[in-house]
A and B are shown apart, each in its own frame.
Chain A
Amino acid sequence: MPASLEIRNLCASVGDRPILKNFSLTVPKGEVHAIMGPNGTGKSTLAKVLAGHPDYAVQSGEALVDGETILGLEPDVIARAGLFLAFQYPSEIPGVTIANFIRAALVARQAKGAPFDAKAYYAELYAKMDALKMDRKFTSRFVNEGFSGGEKKRCEILQLMMLRPRYAVLDETDSGLDIDALRIVSEGVNAMRGPDTGFLVITHYQRLLDYIVPDRVHIMWDGRIVHSGGKELALELEEKGYDWVKKELAHA
């Protein structure tokens, strides 16, 4: 069984507008891959399609988590199969505390009726919050309600760390973060790097990749990957800008 997040020839649309056009990419477990690209090229759509968002229609192609197909499954089934999405714009859940929310997500992964070890849960939750420099009081705040941009992203990474997915898709996690928050969030992700997790980091800017150094960088353009390389590709892109990609494509 291939230990990877594998996307093959994926075509997807919103309404009758095609967004992903024959998109293919493989993220082996244990690696960090970055997708860069200008706005409107389909990066966030890719994240939503993988997570099973009902607004997107898949026309063809495949997406596999460790060899098991996830396309067409309900979002919660995909999540429990091991795919986590850190949202660019996380929703607010009024009245539901962060502690209860993460707890509910963990309970959903247990066998029905299995006992939940609340003591161990809180010990782990507090340790992870300390790592993310989050105040303990945070646990009793309602999910994302009244959070600053930085707090929302930290909360996403906290959930990522608690739920330990096999693959994590980070959608523009750097947007809205100041440099300190960016460093803290990146440290959280880096702490999770290892043989058990694969990362797909979606970003518009090279900045994030100074902190989360990718194994591979892919450039996305008009619904597909047009260029792949090592971490130096991000620097090259930063230097030359997306026009460089555009010109290169025109010559091809």
Chain B
Amino acid sequence: MADLDQDERMQREAIDVDRSKGDFRYEEDYAYDAGVGLDAGVVDYISRVKGEPEWVREFRHRSLGVFESMPMPTHWATDDLDNIRFQEIRYYLAKGQKPSRTWEEVPDDVKRTFERLGIPEAERKFLAGVEAQFDSEASYSRMKEELEKQGVIFCGPTEGLRDHAEVFRRWFGKVIPAGDNKFAALNSAVFSGGSFIYVPKGVKVAQPLQAYFRINAQNFGQFERTLIIADEGAEVTYMEGCTAPKFETATLHSAVVELVALKGAKIQYVTVQNWSSNVFNLVTKRGVAEEDAEVRWIDCNIGSRLTMKYPGVVLRGKRARGEVLSIALANDGQHQDTGAKMIHAADDTTSNIIAKSISVGEGRSTYRGLVHIPRTLRGCRNNTECDALLINEHSRTDTYPAISVRGRRNSVQHEASVSKVSAEQIFYMMQRGLTEGEAMSLAVNGFVNDLVKEFPMEYSVELKRLIELQMEGSVG
């Protein structure tokens, strides 16, 4: 153990060096460490440490085989993927403790990190339950008593698969099978952390369930796994937000999120992604909506080096509804490759996609959309709008909409626009006393304004602040 005073001092220095939020790191004493690199031994190690049932261990091994056999998707995506050094990544680290239930049980160093992230204790009272992930394991989780009484399960994947197998096993890996894509396979092999939620029939969770995710180790990939099941007529909103400290070597983040909205259920999943600019963020998110059910993704990508994420909804029951509202901000050195997928698989299903991207400096944003309505269906509707805003001439935006709508009994609308913040607009705002950075962030906030209104209040405030921070930093 290092001298405590010295630790304190080092931490304070680390904070003083860079004041940007999230850009700091406390020394961690990792009780469990799977070492560097990936092979069957690492998968076994993770499964053993977690005390998993045999079927989960087998699932991990099958997934590892799939991962190893699939090529990198560089043929359609970006060559930057080739820069991921899979054998230099740590696949599992944990505090080696059970998830905490009360704030008092959370270790002091973890508490300090949360304080730096600005999660006030008062806010926690408002939140129905917090599952905050510190590295691989949920180190803090709490649920209000009334939620437990209602039969809502809110835990991590390890507890979910071990203690509530009858609830989660049926859907685990079914919405997104391991073979869906290379990174879904990787996650399926080494997943740890994330949230498993079950909301029983007819239960409407009034307050959003919230999780903070955080990477805090160099060369450490975070592979959280989330599965949310809303039973018939149930309603739930889940919010995740993340910041990550900066490191010199690239960090891989590859999550899998599966949502299941049974008949008449509603799930809303809100993300504010603010990983530091060296993180590869390669995430697979998909929901299934049964009859009269609704799945809504609200997805904001502000951070990371490369994000590839296309939240999707499979509209499997009649009159099911799917929606993706997304905002992407690509600054210097960033590529936000985002979009949405809507798979219509029943009559009278509707989907709505609104995607807004902002490219600043050398930043690049890409929209990829997939809307599929087969010939056999009738009464299906899709609306897609994608708008791009360029802040200067070096930024880049691309749109790749793939819309396959067969049959004459379905309708689809698609609109796309590209606009620029002009020098005259900036001058006009500066003449009113705003700095260049303030002027730009006002223009950007104006551009995303109508979408942000759809967000839960506390997130729209946070998002506005994040955009301001990004824009302030982007001008000399």
Contact = CB atoms under 8 A, between A and B. Distances in A.
Given A79-B431, A95-B447, A108-B438, 4 more contacts: A75-B430, A95-B445, A104-B438, A163-B432
Interface string A73-93: 011101110001101001111
A211 interface: no
Contacts of A94: 419, 446-447
A226 interface: no
Interface in B432-470: 432-436, 438-439, 442-443, 445-450
A242 interface: no
Given A95-B447, A95-B450, A96-B449, A76 B442 contact: no
A105 B433 contact: yes
Interface stretch (B83-91, B264-272, B420-428): B420-428
A212 B306 CA distance: 58
Contacts of A102: 432
A229 to B, nearest CB: 30
B446 A80 contact: no
A139 interface: no
A53 interface: yes
Nearest to A51: B431
Interface in A23-59: 51-54
A105 B446 contact: no
Contacts of A76: 430-431, 433-436, 438-439
A101 interface: yes
Nearest to B447: A95
Nearest to A55: B423
A203 interface: no
A85 B431 CA distance: 7
B425 A108 contact: no
Given A54-B423, A74-B436, A108-B438, A96 B445 contact: yes
Nearest to A159: B432
Nearest to B451: A95
A93 B442 contact: yes
Contacts of B205: none
Contacts of B425: 91-93
Query: Which secondary structure dominates where chain B touches chain A?
Result: helix
A76 B428 CA distance: 9
B433 A79 contact: yes
Contact of B428 (A74, A91, A142): A91
A130 to B, nearest CB: 22
A142 B425 CA distance: 13
B429 interface: yes
A93 B428 contact: yes
A207 interface: no
Given A54-B423, A91-B422, A95-B449, A79 B430 contact: yes
Interface of B: 419, 422-425, 427-436, 438-439, 442-443, 445-450
Nearest first, the 8 closest Cβ-Cβ pairs linking A and B are: A95-B446, A96-B446, A95-B449, A91-B428, A75-B430, A105-B432, A108-B433, A79-B433
Nearest to B425: A91
A78 B314 CA distance: 55
Nearest to B424: A91
Contacts of B423: 54
19 contacts: A51-B431, A74-B430, A74-B435, A75-B430, A76-B431, A79-B431, A80-B433, A84-B431, A91-B422, A91-B424, A95-B447, A95-B448, A96-B445, A101-B429, A104-B432, A105-B434, A108-B434, A108-B435, A109-B433
B431 A93 contact: no
Nearest to A53: B427
A172 to B, nearest CB: 15
A91 B450 CA distance: 20
Contacts of B438: 76, 104, 108
B428 A87 contact: yes
A246 B457 CA distance: 63
B427 to A, nearest CB: 6
Contacts of B433: 76, 79-80, 105, 108-109, 163
Interface in A96-150: 96, 100-102, 104-105, 108-109, 142
B328 to A, nearest CB: 16
A108 B422 CA distance: 21
A101 B448 contact: no
A168 to B, nearest CB: 12
Nearest to A100: B442
Contacts of A108: 432-435, 438
A54 B427 contact: yes
A109 B425 CA distance: 20
Contacts of A80: 433
Contact of A90 (B419, B428, B436): B428
A80 B445 CA distance: 23
Most chain A Cβ neighbours within 10 Å, of B431, B443, B450: B431
A172 B291 CA distance: 62
Most chain A Cβ neighbours within 10 Å, of B425, B435, B446, B449: B446
B400 to A, nearest CB: 25
A100 B453 CA distance: 15
Nearest to B449: A95
Contacts of A53: 427
A79 B442 CA distance: 17
Contacts of B427: 51, 53-54, 75, 91
Contacts of B432: 79, 101-102, 104-105, 108, 159, 163
A75 B443 contact: no
Nearest to B444: A95
A75 B450 CA distance: 29
